[in-house]
Structure 1
Amino acid sequence: MVSFSSIALATAAIAGAVALPTNSTESLLARRAGTPSSAGTHSGYYYSWWTDNAGQATYTNLNGGQYSLSWSGNNGNLVGGKGWNPGTASRNINYSGTYQPNGNSYLAIYGWTRSPLIEYYVVESYGSYNPSSAAQKKGTVNCNGANYDILQTTRVNQPSIDGTQTFQQFWSVRNPKKNPGGQISGTVSVSCHFNAWRNVGMNLGSQHNYQIVATEGYFSSGSATITVS
């Protein structure tokens, strides 16, 4: 969560907040309408939904491994999806559906480990922002017939599954990405990525937390309906 780190966008967000007139006819509740953050199990799958409540976002758990998400307002950060808790280092994850971002967004295998605390992404598609542009490239790997850039970043005093922490982010970013804007599907063998990370000195924690197929948005808008298995 909170993976995008553009200083310019953060500055713009602060400026926008300061500029908002106190007598605006648009209420705070209207601007922040949507689904509150939550996590748990639904229809045999684990789900996680997090939002900073800065924009309008609706997350819905559907039957089985399916979920839908729509967001608008070009404001704030959100990430949600379905999968498993705990995750594993050997799962083959299938996803299919529609993914239509407008601006900064990811569609990714997303998860966390502890000991150490690591946030990780296997990015299958993204909107206007390529996460490879703001991370340290460590190598490349071919998994499930596609090439991925391996990257690492550090998050300092940021939200995590253990509160505000400093931790590493591990990335595999598909290159080229799967085109967004409509139907999308694929298979991700997480062991291929985890082994490649380990080979370049990026070691996940010994304790897996959740592992989901997530849609993330940052100061953007869009929609997704994804089925996970």
Structure 2
Amino acid sequence: MNNNFRMTTAVFLAMCGLVGCTEEQKAPETTGDEATEAPAVSGLDKFEAYTQKFSEDTLITENHATGHVGDFFFTHWKDGGSTSLDLSTDGSFSVSWEGGGYNYVGGPGWHYGDEDRVIGYRFDEDSGASYITVYGWGYDEEMSTSNPEHLVEYYILQRWTYDPSQDGTYGKTFTSNGVEYSTYRSIREEKPSINGPSTFYQYWSKPTEERPLGEENEIIFADHVQAWADTGWIIPDMDNLNASDDPTYQVMAVEVFNPAEDGTASGQVWDATDQ
């Protein structure tokens, strides 16, 4: 996410947390089943101001929403423009955007990260998203906030039009599931995050080549966690509900910023751990 994206997110979430969202802010602009209560997970209720659960396929068009469609958590955020997220209970997704000067990120996954998770996916369309990526957070509230390791935003890129390696420190090159990746680390100083303005690290894994459309693939998340750790880059707790603004989710995200023209990215994500 860029600076403007993060700042607008933080302002919106701070308003919801400090003064409470109005009914207009909380009500999702969707088609499909009506929203119900958040899933019965201890601790998730603190995010109920903007967390919903849908039992049928759902189209999200509002500016900001998180919640569940079936068993899949989703995040959806934009600071302008026209972008929609179409979600199915089987993990299928489609993001459609119009060109303009704004930022968007969204997609389905899980409300927590799991080092042992194997993430299955297939991409069907990509009109030039900035990133299509496994995206998530780790957070340790017991670690000093002056240490950027207390909060980590991570990306495992699969397709991209913007190259983040130009702004990062190189770590290592490794192979996972037949794909060669290189790792990078960036630092964000007093920028908005899932826990308000913070100084934190970003970890990146970038494949040598973009992953193809129309093929089923798997990302072995543990390999990336280990590769980052090999250069001393440790992810803190990825199953943490104590951040102020969001849980430490892990999703297959589509991100676009300042898109030059209209576009679409679609596919499906699933948990391939036991397959």
TM-score range, shorter chain: 0.7 to 0.9
> Which of the residues 62, 74, 82 maps onto 2:108?
82
> Which of the residues 171, 189, 197 maps onto 2:228?
197
1:115-136 CA-to-partner distances (Å, cap 9, x unmatched) read 1211000001112x21112211
Relative to structure 1, the CA distance from residue 147 to residue 139 in structure 2 (aligned partners, 3 Å threshold; closer, same or farther) is same
CA deviation after TM superposition for structure 1 residue 36, in Å: 1.8
CA deviation after TM superposition for structure 1 residue 205, in Å: 0.6
CA deviation after TM superposition for structure 1 residue 64, in Å: 1.7
The answer to whether the aligner puts 1:51 opposite 2:78 as a matched pair is yes
CA deviation after TM superposition for structure 1 residue 183, in Å: 3.2
CA deviation after TM superposition for structure 1 residue 101, in Å: 3.0
Contact kept? 1:158, 1:164, Cα under 8 Å: yes
With structure 2 as the length reference, what TM-score do the two structures score? 0.67
The answer to whether the aligner puts 1:152 opposite 2:185 as a matched pair is yes
* Counterpart for residue 38 of structure 1: 65
With structure 1 as the length reference, what TM-score do the two structures score? 0.79
3-state SS of 2:214 partner: strand
Question: Following superposition of structure 1 onto structure 2, how do residues 1-229 of structure 1 map, counting pairs within 5 Å?
Answer: 1-2=1-2, 34-53=61-80, 55-102=81-128, 105-115=130-140, 116-127=150-161, 129-179=162-212, 182-183=213-214, 185-208=216-239, 209-220=248-259, 221-229=262-270
3-state SS of 1:149 partner: strand
CA deviation after TM superposition for structure 1 residue 222, in Å: 2.1
Q: Which runs of 5+ in 2 are unaligned?
A: 6-60, 141-149, 240-247, 271-275
Q: Which runs of 5+ in 1 are unaligned?
A: 6-33
Q: Greater relative contact order: 1 or 2 (C-alpha under 8 angstroms, separation 6 or more)?
A: 1
Letter in 1 for 2:73: Y
CA deviation after TM superposition for structure 1 residue 3, in Å: 7.7
Relative to structure 1, the CA distance from residue 122 to residue 3 in structure 2 (aligned partners, 3 Å threshold; closer, same or farther) is farther
Contact kept? 1:109, 1:211, Cα under 8 Å: yes
Relative to structure 1, the CA distance from residue 130 to residue 123 in structure 2 (aligned partners, 3 Å threshold; closer, same or farther) is same
Number of corresponding residues: 196
Q: Which moved more, 1:209-218 or 1:72-81?
A: 72-81
Q: Over aligned residue pairs, what C-alpha RMSD do you find?
A: 2.0
CA deviation after TM superposition for structure 1 residue 213, in Å: 0.7
Q: Which moved more, 1:59-68 or 1:196-205?
A: 59-68
Structure 2: distance between partners of 1:161 and 1:91:
22
Structure 1: distance between partners of 2:180 and 2:167:
19
Q: What percentage of aligned pairs have identical amino acids?
A: 29
* Counterpart for residue 15 of structure 1: none
Structure 2: distance between partners of 1:3 and 1:68:
25
CA deviation after TM superposition for structure 1 residue 45, in Å: 0.7
Relative to structure 1, the CA distance from residue 2 to residue 177 in structure 2 (aligned partners, 3 Å threshold; closer, same or farther) is same
1:53-88 CA-to-partner distances (Å, cap 9, x unmatched) read 2x2211122232112111122321111111111110
3-state SS of 1:173 partner: strand
Letter in 1 for 2:2: V
Contact kept? 1:35, 1:59, Cα under 8 Å: no
